[in-house]
Structure 1
Amino acid sequence: MPHTATAQLLCASDDTALRLEELQFEVGRGPGIACAADGQPVVVGDCRQVDPRWPVFSTVVGEQLPQVRALRAFPVVRGCEVLGCVLLYRTCLWPARPGEVEQGRLAARAVARLLEDMDSALRAEDPSRLWDPRRMIDAHWGSTHRAAGMLAEHLGLPVSDALLLIRARALSTNTPLPRLADTIARDPAGWDEG
């Protein structure tokens, strides 16, 4: 559910995909978040153009991931419930083609079925399961929320404000949130020195 405060990354195919997700989480905006929020596919044909829907996200992607040229986000749906989204990127222009959105929806439905199967395996604690997202979820999202809680306590702020401060620091210093969260977790008072 990338459009909520409890966003979690379940899988990233490579470092670029991981950084795209981290940037959406840092900025709080982007195609995956929009897709999950309204359950509609999102098409970004050329990332070198600032998208008016998410100007900060577009700018940061252009600066940090210049190899990313196009994005697609498809909702992962179970019944009428949007569970999240699948975000795809390409390193070349990706003009919209007839039928592409429907193909993306079908692929995202297959992902939803796979997630249900994995969830069943995790619930049964099946030792043969091939994929367990808990480590990635904690490393990239859980640690950030814990750091926000620690910083909130240190600064006497609401956790939501502390998370905004962490996001702002991550963007202004070009530091991925997980790395910044680890620093804060080791020494919340060190925040004042940064």
Structure 2
Amino acid sequence: MPHIAEAQLVCASDRVALRLEELQFEVGRGPGIACAVGASPVLVGDFREVHPLWPVFSTVVGEQLPQVRALWAFPVMSGYEALGSVLLYRTTPWYPHRKAVEQGMLAARAVARLLEDMETELLAEDGCDWEPQGMVDAHWLSAHRAAGALAEHLGLPSSEALLLMRARALSTGIPLPLLAADLARDPASWNDR
């Protein structure tokens, strides 16, 4: 399942939801990404076992967020194109019934309408002036900027630099936003690690 390079967080309800999104971004895999790429719901009723499609993501979630037991992702659609996904988690296992899936899809449609209504503001030169802007910048945009700086330093494409950053974040346990902040200040610090 490919990573969506331009993906970024719009909102997180709490620290667990934020870390789930960070982990998907760090690993480049997970139910939210699979949902957005496939434009269909991804429902995992019990996340205790390592999921065969995302073994690294499953393992890291199990280690860092053991309270997460179920994950459901619903596509945020604009016509036939997925803009992204809404990722929900539960602390108890539960396989959603048809009515719950329908309600999840309705909520994702409402998010799509909201994003479409905000499109002008989202595309404005100054960006949107909304609450998560700082969080989006700190967790996603800064990682892409740092990947660009590292790519230039190492003479690689930025996509490969981002993969190297992800690997280092996972192998060291340093969250990707912290690693990105260090690299943005000094790309040569990569050689010191």
TM-score (norm 1): 0.91
Q: Give the drift of 1:53.
A: 1.0
Query: Within 5 Å, which residues of 2 pair with 1:35-54?
Result: 35-54=35-54
Letter aligned with residue 95 of structure 2: P
Q: Give the drift of 1:119.
A: 2.9
Q: Is the 8 A contact 1:29 1:57 kept in 2?
A: yes
Letter aligned with residue 167 of structure 1: R
Distance 2:181 2:129 in 1: 28
Letter aligned with residue 180 of structure 1: L
Q: Give the drift of 1:176.
A: 1.4
Which residue does 2:166 correspond to in 1?
Answer: 167
1:93-117 CA distances to partner (integer Å, 9 max, x unpaired)? 1222232211111110011112223
RMSD: 2.0
Which residue does 1:13 correspond to in 2?
Answer: 13
Question: How many percent of aligned residue pairs carry the same amino acid?
Answer: 71
Distance 2:43 2:122 in 1: 33
Which residue does 1:137 correspond to in 2?
Answer: 136
Which residue does 2:176 correspond to in 1?
Answer: 177
Q: Is the 8 A contact 2:43 2:95 kept in 1?
A: no
Tell me the secondary structure at the aligned position of residue 19 of structure 1.
helix
In structure 1, list runs of 5 or more residues that go unmatched. Answer: none
Letter aligned with residue 103 of structure 1: Q
Query: Within 5 Å, which residues of 2 pair with 1:1-194?
Result: 3-121=3-121, 131-194=130-193
TM-score (norm 2): 0.91
Q: Give the drift of 1:122.
A: 5.2
1:11-47 CA distances to partner (integer Å, 9 max, x unpaired)? 0111111110110011111000000001110011111
Rate the CA distance shift 1:123–1:167 in 2: closer, same or farther, 3 A. Answer: closer
Distance 1:123 1:82 in 2: 18
Distance 2:34 2:184 in 1: 30
Q: Is the 8 A contact 1:32 1:73 kept in 2?
A: yes
Distance 2:16 2:141 in 1: 20
Distance 1:50 1:87 in 2: 18
Total equivalences in the alignment: 190
Tell me the secondary structure at the aligned position of residue 99 of structure 1.
helix
1:141-175 CA distances to partner (integer Å, 9 max, x unpaired)? 11001111111111122211111110001111112
Q: Is the 8 A contact 1:118 1:131 kept in 2?
A: no
Q: Give the drift of 1:130.
A: 7.9
Letter aligned with residue 162 of structure 2: L
